[in-house]
Amino acid sequence: MRNTAKLTTAALAAGALTLGLTACGSGAADTTSDTSGPLVVAASPTPHAEILTFVKDNLAKKAGLDLEVKEFTDYVLPNTATEDGSVDANYFQNQPYLDDFNKKQGTHIVPVVTVHLEPLGLYSDKVKSKDDLKAGAIVAVPNDTVNEARALKLLDAAGIITLKDGADNAATPADIAENPRKLKFKELEAAQTPRSLEDVDAAVINGNYALEADLSPADDALAVEPATDNPNGNFLAVKEGNEDDPRVRKLAKLLTSPEVKKFIEDKWSNGSVIPSF
């Protein structure tokens, strides 16, 4: 049985407010942390919380780790909760996203160990091939800076659009050099992209949200982000100063164990989640 607690935006509003107030007082990271209690980790439900729950149920006790998993359904609160101490760590994001988040929010989150990659994919309920996208088709993309750029790079790699030379991890539709089909882009919160498939011609969907919507990158995607040399592996992260928390070190070791690698490969044999260690 999954032993997780789901947290919503409303439930953590107070924590987010605390972050905003303390951020005004000092730019220095508070490195104090109580390491005597359970390690509380914020995670996206799929696949992050599933991987953590496997660790909790099968590996943690033997390693002397008391692990608590809290599920978050967005890409903001796991970091703000880690920053303000509501949780001890999080597991949901990649390096480009974290770099952008820390810069914009003034947070001090750092990676500990990379665990897996979820390839980004282009999906559609309207067409069977990327070549069938018609002129003026509407394509939904995530609206956060890094994932939007990642989505546009996928479309560029698939030959659907061409980005300007030098387009980086902050690329937007304004950085498109060639759009021969005159595609229109609908910018949505990443979690909303699977539900948008009824209303748009195609959508670029993050791997975890695709999994939650029973979409397989290998079987359903019109185009898939390449796994080789991909900088978007998802990692365990903590507030700066807590990297050497013994509980965090135990979890980092377990998350990169042969048992977890086998669990990922067996559960997501279609390649929708790929070990990065």
* Per-residue pLDDT, 33: 56
* Per-residue pLDDT, 238: 98
Sheet strands (E) in 118-246: 121-123, 138-142, 162-163, 176-178, 184-188, 202-205, 223-224, 234-239
- Of 33, 37, 75, 46, nearest to 238 by C-alpha is 33
* Per-residue pLDDT, 211: 87
* Per-residue pLDDT, 55: 98
* Per-residue pLDDT, 25: 39
* In the block, residue with structure tokens 């748009």: 200
* Per-residue pLDDT, 272: 87
Residue 1 Cα to chain centre, angstroms: 24
Which residues in the chain show pLDDT less than 70?
1-34
Separation CA 203–CA 197 (nearest Å) = 6
* Per-residue pLDDT, 230: 85
Separation CA 63–CA 90 (nearest Å) = 20
Q: Decide if 215 contacts 277 (C-beta within 8 A).
A: no
* Per-residue pLDDT, 157: 94
* Per-residue pLDDT, 229: 79
